[in-house]
Structure 1
Amino acid sequence: MKNRFNRYLTYALASGISSAVVSCSNTKYLKQGQMLYTGAEVKIENDTLPKKEKNALKSELESNLTPKPNSSFLGLRPRLFFYNITKEPKKEKGLRYWLKYKVGEKPVLLSDVDQEFNRDIIENYSENQGYFNARATYDTISKNRKAEVIYTLRPGARYLISDVKFQRDSTVINQEIQKLTGNTLLKPGNPFDLDVIKSERQRIDNGLKERGFYYFHPDNIIVQADSTVSKNHKVELNVKLKDNTPALATQQFSIDKVIVFPNYNILDVKNGKYTIPVDKDSLSKYAYEDIYVIDPQHKFKPKIFDRALYFKTGDLYNRTDHNLTLNRLISLGVFKFVKNEFVVSDSLQHRFDAYYLLTPRELQSLRLEALGRTNSANYAGSELNLNWTHRNFFRGAEQFKAAVYGAFDVQVGGPKDANNIFRAGANAQLSIPRIVAPFRFNSSSAFVPRTNITLGYEFQNRTQLYTLNTFNASFGYVWKENARKEHDLKIIDVTYVSPANITPKFQEQASQNPYLQRVVDKQLIFGPTYSYTYTNTMLPKTNTIYYKGMVDLAGNLTGLLSGANAKEGKQKTIFDVPFSQYVKMEHDFRFYHKFAEKTSFASRIIAGIAYPYGNSVQVPYSRQFFVGGSNSIRAFRARTLGPGSYDPRTQKDTFFFDQSGDIKLEMNAEYRANLYKFLNVAVFADAGNIWLVNADEQRPGGQFSKDFLSEVAVGAGVGLRLDFSILVLRLDLAMPLRVPYYEKGDRWTFDRIDFGNSDWRKDNLILNIAIGYPF
């Protein structure tokens, strides 16, 4: 113990001496007369300003000063040190260039600081915040060839708004502005703030854009400040149109004709304009309802544009309908570029034509994908996919996707012989850009609602065990209220599973373990499913969230009408196959906190339950929950954990089966940081487990109970993420910290960690290789 303490003390002293050398050595590279700039401080001399207001002003002023000093860490400047010790490279590439100019950082000198410019910035910013009598001075403090600049601000009293006047006249635009004054951001008693004034100009512009003033601009508004009309540091504001406002900006426009070019090609543009028929005779033959669709080849049905376009002849222009139309045209998914132009057609009546110039995407595409993969369950394999897409299947922007695929997974190690897996199948989806229903569905969203019809088949063979044939079909709707909220309702979602080629080897194991028989039972699952997603992660906010909730109601109405009761022997069938009846819910909530541009904290909680009743005693195997693996609890191999405290090591099978459960609870937390460009690191912790609703004699400890918290598994680890923009390659190394199937009271494993033991490393260090982030 004493030797270990001495060794640690030596390391600490050496580290301290090295840090001091690094800190001091940066100045010795300076030339004669040069001084290293270490930063600036703004001191505010005003006894009447509240402390909170003074600190806010000081923070804003210091953030505006230039240049910024060399970056530092714990008082050291490691990037400057690497720049100084690296010799000048002969070429703009190689290790030396990378070390000096990418890792290193050029010294910021006192001579680089324009102190007069910074003083002007301080005074101007202060005046813009209402400190009209602000005056600033500066001084330099230097020591040991390092210099700091101190700026002293004497802001005086802050001016407050005494009154706000909106100039009146008889023009149409002024009358519309007067209608907007009730929501003004300029309030008497508030401090004068140039940023608020700019926001007020933008608010007025937004309001006028909604009232037909297409050519108006915020710069056409002027806010005059008069501090002479009152005393005690008050200022009166007068909001008015500028005298030189263009006449076009004051005119209220309405829509004349709406003309669509669905085959617009930028290569056909001549002299910056697209050749279009302008005479009424040429347009009349392309008329559809209230629009004109110039599509001589009839590639698109005109009614898709009638649904997407919000402008009609005679409508007053407004920005909301303008943006909604553009967004809906884009969300059709068939156009690569969407361009909009307004051309004045009648200046006296203040009318213009709306042109929509649409560049189609390639209507058909064929893609072949070859994938290689591995997972923590000791499988490696490959998959081949052939995908065909048609984006205008019935000329109404319907998207038809068809795919055929084949895949295999080979057992490459592990304590159990799980046999190899071969899969092959085909699926198709037709997505219609509207709600196909006997009722009318009106949506004012910028996103086109869709009706989705899917059909699929998969053949799965686990060698030496069994074969499964799975058929599925669904019909439902997807619609978005806005960019944050999405609904997915499947009116009917049907799955039929039919087993074949069940081997004696599997039958022998199933006779000893009845729960294995469920894997090869015939299954008929049908019913509605609904999911709701809310996310604001696309917004530039410090804290963002993601939530997805799902409910699956299988066989409920059929079971109720038929009087099914499997527990009492009244199990009903359809075509001699018992149908499943259960209720399933799952909630996935995620929280993200951004510390800096590439440093963040991410967390997730998943909770779910599937409850069988009526015609079912158990939830179908394919609808149960699983945990473990690269996107779950990473310290345990995929689908090997649970249920509850059940110990899978007690299995006598010669092969290993996925563990499933009816209840799921999972929690994850991850700290993410950037090391260099595409290289990111993470530290993470995962916890959770699955449980059964009903007891299973073959899996003791699997049923959910009041002691469920003691059966929560915990793991932690570190990871590397290679972010190549088009994909993220993730490598996570995790180890278990709490194992639920150990003896109760002895489930934490801190005292068993032994990195020096190869057997411990083999059994406890789990490497997960995956594409993308886990959540």
Structure 2
Amino acid sequence: MKKSRITYSPVAAVALALAVSSCSNTRFLKEGETLYTGATIDIVNDTLSKREKSNLKDALKDQLRPKPNSSFLGLRPQLYIYNITKEPKKEKGLRNWLKYKIGEKPVLLGDVDREFNEKILVNYSENKGFFNARASSDTISKNKRAKVAYTVRPGARYLISNVTYPEDSTIVNAEIQSIKDKSFLKAGNPFDLDVIKAERERIDEHLKNKGFYYFGADNIVVQADSTVTKDPKVELIVKLKDNTPQLAKEQFTIDKTIVFPDYNIADAKVGKYGIPYNTDSVEVINDLYIIDPENKFKPKIFDRALYFDRGDLYNRKDHNLSLNRLISLGVFKFVKNEFIVSDSLNHKFDAYYLLTPRPFQSLRLETLGKTSSANYTGGEVNLNWTHRNFFRGAEQLKGAVYGAFDVQVGGPKDANNIIRVGANAQLSIPRIVAPFRFESSSAFVPRTNVELGYEYLSRTGLYTLHNFNTSFGYLWKENERKEHNLKVLDVTLVAPQNISDKYREQIEGNPAAGIPANPSLQRVIDKQLIFGPTYTYTYTNTMLPKKNTMYYKGLLDLAGNIAGLVTGANAKEGRQKELFGIPFSQYAKMEHDFRYYRKVGDKSSIASRVIAGLGYPYGNSTTIPYVKQFFVGGSNSIRAFRARTLGPGSYDPTTQNASFFFDQSGDIKLEMNLEYRANLYKFLNAAVFADAGNVWLVNEDPERPGGKFSGDFMKEIAVGAGVGLRLDFSILILRLDLAMPLRVPYYAEDERWALDRINFGSSAWRRDNLILNIAIGYPF
């Protein structure tokens, strides 16, 4: 029987010290002061279910003020930092920052107004239909700590007995009557003030879309009558307020639509409502008035973006849609809209759009320092130029030149530094340029994108690659959640140069020097011609204020399919075809990236991710191009393994007889990640995570035994886990993740789990197993 070994780390010692110290926060209190540690709420009611009581209790607890000092695992480290930090003599400095930014002032029992909180609890209960609610409280004190125990007796919850919408002869009432069957207020449901507010907003939204521009939700009143029966029931009457302005009851239509695309609020001649009167240069297109004296924009861009036509009934949906499309053009800094009555007798108004352009051209220099878990440290410099109105139609032309270097520092292999220099350009046109008509009612303007790029990559002492790429395609969004990106043609050409004798020796082998042949290295420096369509679909609702959100991205990449079919290519049978003297790639590839985020508290959440990918070479190819294969390991993947050093399958990359490590790639990828995230203090977040996955080959590779995908693939899953800190400064998130392997797929099958070999006390073990990842942004 093996003896277990207990080891200690400095981190554990610090945590223990902090725990002991945090327990003595009360010794800093003055005579007569008591630390407030929170509140409890007891619901006394026999008619509510256990779940209803729990929901009501949680909602009531959110209403209480003040909140106690924040705690972590039952401790209050921020309060302790405040207590042990001496009063600063200056308003700025480290001591002031520690005490008042990091630290947290003690919340005392004397800060709690129990009578006020009781009223809050009663008021909230009444808003939820408990009209006879009562509340009381008591204080429980011990060892200079106190909590307040609230008791709420809500009584019976009133239900809706009937909902009435009185009729009259007005147009606005007729519209309300037409949608009353879709009311949120239903007989038998509990009375709820939030639902009543939602019903008023629903009616208001409908009327806004029917021309009632001046109508507002405040013009609707919902009267509640609880005297109808002796039972705890209430009748609701939904109607217009008696003092509703006549203007709010009238439907308005659009007369003229006037656009000022070069509006400057400081310099413009201003008339009524801040609308400039200068109409010296007016261009009319489809009843659209464009006032652009300097002719900076083509009028057609406004005709495509604006949804109002002359004579149209005002519609809030089209109103917002037009504004969003103007913003999504990307050329305007401010977009303002005004409606001014032009014919009060016939209920018409003019729509004015006041647009302030952004500077058409901008130049930005970016510098970046970086490090990777593969022992590479380097930097990058980017010079980006943007023109936002290149052909006067809000076309965006972007150009960039960049240079980067990565130097290997440390590590068990010879250093082979990487130098990258490149340039690229992209033209984005705010419409679909195609021989067919593309209609979009989305708030996002569809775009046609043309890209062209070149990169020079030198891996010193090994090889040089010239990478040319170009693409033509379309980007459009159905709504804020769904995005499509179709590249009708995506072309990549990779041309090698300056292949060193050292690298060729690794490919061909040198028996005299004891170096075996490694033909798989040839794929890195093969001439590659890849062309075909790619399609990406993205769905996300992570921008919505929901408890649970998700993200999905699917990719389909088809290369050389038509060319392979036309030429009858079959590489396996020796009929590999060429274009321009280069064998073209033929394959089908798909990848699915699914992420799920679940909030488990006010300051914590669980994030999970599953990635599955498959690339299948056929026809003119026996393998997928190296640049299109899958890789795992690194700061955004399985963090317990260095970048691109894991797999394929059970192949052990440490056994390769090369003087350098090369990236391990595969045709099949499976990866799973689970991460618990918690906010410790404002910008400081912590995480505990576990990663698992691997890559495999479709076909057998004699040089990488164990790399082919088989029915035993689950036995070849790598597993790692770790902890991390994230410094979230909004515009920048700096991430530090410390991970270690728990399961290593290239060990002997009965020794792959490494849990019994964990030894934090061993410097050799820490050097070989603890991987520090420093990165920007969250891993997923």
Determine if the TM-score, normalized by the shorter chain, exceeds 0.5. Answer: yes
Q: CA deviation at 1:726?
A: 1.7
Aligned match of 1:456? 453
TM score, norm. by length of structure 1: 0.92
Within the candidate set 686, 693, 702, 2:698 is matched to 693
Does the residue aligned with 1:56 lie in a helix, a strand or coil?
A: helix
Q: CA deviation at 1:457?
A: 1.5
1:198 maps to 2:197? yes
Aligned match of 2:632? 627
Aligned match of 2:397? 400
Aligned match of 1:26? 26
Whole-angstrom distance in 1 between the partners of 2:561 and 2:592: 21
Does the residue aligned with 2:532 lie in a helix, a strand or coil?
A: coil
String of CA shifts for 1:338-369, please: whole Å, max 9, x gaps: 11111111111111111111111111112222
Does the residue aligned with 1:268 lie in a helix, a strand or coil?
A: coil
Whole-angstrom distance in 1 between the partners of 2:175 and 2:693: 59
Aligned match of 1:184? 183
Does the residue aligned with 2:552 lie in a helix, a strand or coil?
A: strand
Kept after mapping to 1: 8 A contact 2:23/2:75: yes
Aligned match of 2:514? none
Aligned match of 2:118? 119
Whole-angstrom distance in 2 between the partners of 1:558 and 1:671: 48
Does the residue aligned with 1:267 lie in a helix, a strand or coil?
A: coil
Kept after mapping to 2: 8 A contact 1:345/1:351: yes
Does the residue aligned with 2:168 lie in a helix, a strand or coil?
A: coil
Q: CA deviation at 1:38?
A: 4.8
Does the residue aligned with 1:634 lie in a helix, a strand or coil?
A: coil
Letter in 1 for 2:560: G
1:358 maps to 2:363? no
Does the residue aligned with 2:751 lie in a helix, a strand or coil?
A: coil
Kept after mapping to 1: 8 A contact 2:448/2:473: yes
Whole-angstrom distance in 2 between the partners of 1:95 and 1:114: 34
Aligned match of 1:636? 641
Aligned match of 2:554? 549
Kept after mapping to 2: 8 A contact 1:268/1:274: no
Matches for 1:225-244 after TM superposition, within 5 Å? 225-244=224-243
1:745 maps to 2:750? yes
Whole-angstrom distance in 2 between the partners of 1:662 and 1:40: 56
Change (3 A) 1:621 1:15: closer
Matches for 1:499-510 after TM superposition, within 5 Å? 499-510=496-507
String of CA shifts for 1:583-614, please: whole Å, max 9, x gaps: 11111111212234442222211111111111
Change (3 A) 1:80 1:178: same
1:424 maps to 2:425? no
Q: CA deviation at 1:71?
A: 4.4
Change (3 A) 1:655 1:15: closer
Q: CA deviation at 1:379?
A: 2.2
1:324 maps to 2:321? yes
1:371 maps to 2:391? no
Does the residue aligned with 2:310 lie in a helix, a strand or coil?
A: coil
Kept after mapping to 1: 8 A contact 2:281/2:292: no
Kept after mapping to 2: 8 A contact 1:666/1:687: yes
Kept after mapping to 2: 8 A contact 1:582/1:616: yes
Change (3 A) 1:176 1:29: same
Letter in 2 for 1:253: F
Kept after mapping to 1: 8 A contact 2:650/2:745: yes
Q: Mind listing any 5+ residue stretches in structure 2 that lack a counterpart? A: 509-516
1:774 maps to 2:773? no
Matches for 1:406-485 after TM superposition, within 5 Å? 406-485=403-482
Kept after mapping to 1: 8 A contact 2:481/2:539: yes
Aligned match of 1:276? 276
String of CA shifts for 1:510-529, please: whole Å, max 9, x gaps: 22222222222221111111
Whole-angstrom distance in 1 between the partners of 2:659 and 2:71: 59
Whole-angstrom distance in 2 between the partners of 1:35 and 1:757: 47
Within the candidate set 368, 385, 391, 2:382 is matched to 385
Q: CA deviation at 1:481?
A: 0.8
Change (3 A) 1:571 1:211: same
Change (3 A) 1:669 1:70: closer
String of CA shifts for 1:218-269, please: whole Å, max 9, x gaps: 1110111122233323222111111111121111111111111111123225
Instruction: Say what the alpha-carbon RMSD is for the aligned residues.
Output: 2.9
Change (3 A) 1:418 1:309: same
Matches for 1:518-557 after TM superposition, within 5 Å? 518-557=523-562
Identical columns (%): 72
Change (3 A) 1:72 1:725: closer
Whole-angstrom distance in 1 between the partners of 2:570 and 2:664: 27
Q: CA deviation at 1:94?
A: 4.4
Aligned match of 1:513? 518
Does the residue aligned with 2:536 lie in a helix, a strand or coil?
A: strand
Letter in 2 for 1:713: A
Q: CA deviation at 1:125?
A: 2.5
String of CA shifts for 1:20-45, please: whole Å, max 9, x gaps: x966872783444x555454444444
Q: CA deviation at 1:470?
A: 1.7
What is the aligned length? 766
Whole-angstrom distance in 1 between the partners of 2:228 and 2:389: 67
TM score, norm. by length of structure 2: 0.92
Does the residue aligned with 1:516 lie in a helix, a strand or coil?
A: helix
Kept after mapping to 2: 8 A contact 1:545/1:590: yes
Whole-angstrom distance in 2 between the partners of 1:596 and 1:515: 49
Kept after mapping to 1: 8 A contact 2:121/2:135: yes
Q: CA deviation at 1:371?
A: 2.5
String of CA shifts for 1:58-105, please: whole Å, max 9, x gaps: 443333233334445676655555555655444434455445444554
Aligned match of 1:251? 250
Q: Which moved more, 1:62-71 or 1:624-633?
A: 62-71
Does the residue aligned with 1:660 lie in a helix, a strand or coil?
A: coil
Whole-angstrom distance in 2 between the partners of 1:565 and 1:737: 43
Change (3 A) 1:152 1:517: closer
String of CA shifts for 1:355-392, please: whole Å, max 9, x gaps: 11111111111222233322222222232222211111
Whole-angstrom distance in 2 between the partners of 1:74 and 1:659: 41
